[in-house]
Chain A
């Protein structure tokens, strides 16, 4: 499985008079593990919604491996290799775990093939086992704990065989052990060559998983670099702390002395 390179160039999106994404451009390199971070309201989830086709863009281009996908329908983008999870869990509450996960591979199966054919069930069970979810296949997801549902969302997105996997706050609400399990799963996914784009507030998780960080504020790009560099950037500090970055840095220096 090969990853894909995602590029946004001059992307704009407004809702009524409110500009949410303002001439945004950045590239997620093939096979990279990129984090998309920023304060609340920075436009991170909107970027996910634009890339996956939930909203049409007002201006600019979104391209995958150089191919403009801006006008591809939402249902068609999964065929281009874009798959995602959601900030708030969006599993199908009345379906079982295995049925939810099967939805991930729906686009590449014939409409009248049996959903629970032997081969399909085996591949889904293997994917669930890889994520440590082998004990839940037949259970209705609405009755499962939050952390399990979060992981099921990731497995569903993976079953789509994406070139780029977009995860919106995958570690939110998980305890340390669950978060470590999830990171290990995503590292295995990354090792298969799949590009990862992750929105996450947990910087510890980001530092351990990601090799590249893109920071947004008010729908604009304010920084790109490594996880180590991001903590030293004055614009990022100002965006997060809402104060003069130099004062923060001098305060830190004073404390260090």
Chain B
């Protein structure tokens, strides 16, 4: 695999991990615009541990996830008192506060960012991503996962059927925070650098878009969203280089990409991957198999 391809794959996988960090709360009906906050916590924690304390990479990633999870747990209680757009604003404010804190810690680089020498390549990123996806799939297959998805659809009815709404949403937010921390830990060691400027509000918006464009109804949604947001701009860039008639894409690829995002929102407002889509695909596969068996 070329260096370019492995770089794209690494970014795709890290984006997936971070997307799942927003997906878990979203699956429980909570919109989180503070992904950057948890990524910064995880990134600076793991980066600090490897670069300043000399820790090995894997324990640093685990501790980063744990610490971000603890912060998310503590934060969940006040944030879950808000609803809708106010929750979005509260999580956004949280990320801004976290950014402000790291900007003012000179020992972690302050405004110039934190440089680390330990590198996380695909041998670390792939198994971590597999573990994250397996964790999300397992969580969604439990009663807690069912309660999360029920809370997403109708909080009041879930409550009447005995769902401990507060516990479910705190759990989803905490698990999401932990995954964000793990994503941040991978990010800082993939790029050997993290700073507050490039992990700000735009970063949080992109991650939320991964999930909303991919879809919040199934665990495939963040995968599809991260794939779309990572791969499509790269395809457009490659097209601009390979075909002279597509030269305009070099500068204009983000315009094309933006139009594609708007079109997807119009055509598939519930995201690229929905339960109904999966049901249709499964039905088609069953009919195809039945036809082949009959033939």
Contacts and interface: CB of A to CB of B under 8 A. Distances in A.
A79 B160 CA distance: 10
Contacts of A237: none
A93 interface: yes
B198 interface: no
A114 B141 contact: yes
Given A54-B156, A92-B157, A94-B153, A103 B146 contact: yes
Contact of B154 (A92, A96, A139, A140): A92
Interface of B: prevailing SS: helix
Contact of A140 (B141, B145, B159, B275): B275
B142 A112 contact: yes
Contact of B153 (A79, A95, A116): A95
A128 B167 CA distance: 29
A75 B157 contact: no
B179 interface: no
A95 B162 CA distance: 17
A40 to B, nearest CB: 22
Interface magnitude class on chain B: 20 to 34
A78 B207 CA distance: 38
Nearest to A94: B217
Interface string B122-160: 000000000000000000011111110110111011111
Given A52-B160, A75-B163, A86-B157, A110 B279 contact: no
A106 interface: yes
Interface in B144-194: 144-147, 149-150, 152-154, 156-165, 167
Nearest to A73: B159
A92 B144 CA distance: 15
A113 interface: yes
A75 B162 contact: yes
A92 to B, nearest CB: 4
Residue of B145, B146, B156, B276 most packed against chain A (CB within 10 A): B146
Contacts of B146: 95, 99, 102-103, 106, 115
B137 to A, nearest CB: 12
A29 to B, nearest CB: 24
Interface of B: 141-147, 149-150, 152-154, 156-165, 167, 217, 274-276, 279
